[in-house]
């Protein structure tokens, strides 16, 4: 059993990741850009050969259904910025987070972020968890690295569930048109 707050955060993260890994192992390249609804957020080819995520500074109502591609980019964005904050680096801008593309490259990117995050977590002592952070909340919220670590676990669980649900729906459709649901 975990004996410290840092160990508990790591245990919870490892549990969450193991559930996510179940879906990562089963994703097919065609799953990433399949559009689950007419109103969806996805990634679109950019002029420089990369990908640009759909984005709105004010969330639309209704909220568009994200594709697996968008969700994986979103994980990469918030996780990179969370690591920047814990490490005391200037956070990456959202526009600087590049999605690697459908398939193995994106799964490898997420697994590399996992490795980086676990290294960061393993260096944290309980005293470090009391250090204030301004991510993902404003500084005046007065929250700590313990809150950020808990948020990473919750956000990853939410995104993993969304990706898993989209993957299972596509798999349930069998040989139907694989560009949509």
Residue 3 binned pLDDT confidence (cut-offs 50, 70, 90): confident
Cβ proximity of 157 and 15 under 8 Å = no
Q: What is the CATH number of the domain that holds 155?
A: 1.20.120
pLDDT value, residue 180: 59
Residue 56 inside a domain? The answer is no
Q: What are the two backbone dihedrals, phi and then psi, of residue 35, each rounded to the nearest 5 degrees?
A: -95, 115
Does pTM surpass 0.85?
yes
Give me the percent of the chain exceeding a pLDDT of 90: 89
Residue 13 inside a domain? The answer is yes
pLDDT in tens, 69-84: 999 999 999 999 999 9
pLDDT in tens, 30-39: 999 999 999 9
How many domains does the structure of the chain reveal?
1
Please state which of the ranges 41-45, 47-51, 111-115, 171-175 shows the lowest mean pLDDT.
171-175
Residue 181 inside a domain? The answer is no
Residue 51 inside a domain? The answer is no
Strand partners, 53: 43
Residue 131 inside a domain? The answer is yes
Give me the percent of the chain exceeding a pLDDT of 70: 94
- Got the DSSP string for 46-85? -TTSSEEE---SS--SSPPEEPHHHHHHHHHHHHHHHHHH
């Amino acid at each position: 059993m975990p004996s410290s707050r840092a160990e508990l955060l790591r245990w919870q993260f490892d549990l969450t990741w193991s559930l996510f890994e179940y879906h990562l192992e089963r994703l097919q390249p065609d799953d990433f850009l399949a559009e689950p609804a007419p109103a969806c957020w996805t990634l679109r080819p950019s002029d420089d050969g990369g990908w640009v995520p759909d984005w709105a500074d004010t969330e639309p109502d209704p909220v568009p259904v994200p594709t697996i591609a968008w969700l994986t980019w979103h994980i990469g964005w918030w996780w990179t910025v969370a690591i920047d904050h814990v490490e005391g680096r200037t956070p990456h801008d959202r526009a600087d987070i590049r999605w690697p593309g459908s398939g193995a490259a994106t799964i490898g990117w997420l697994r590399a972020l996992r490795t980086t995050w676990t290294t960061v977590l393993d260096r944290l002592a309980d005293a470090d968890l009391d250090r204030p952070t301004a991510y993902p909340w404003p500084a005046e919220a007065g929250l700590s690295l313990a809150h950020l670590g808990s948020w990473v676990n919750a956000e990853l669980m939410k995104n993993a569930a969304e990706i898993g649900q989209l993957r299972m729906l596509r798999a349930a459709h069998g040989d139907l048109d694989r560009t949509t649901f």
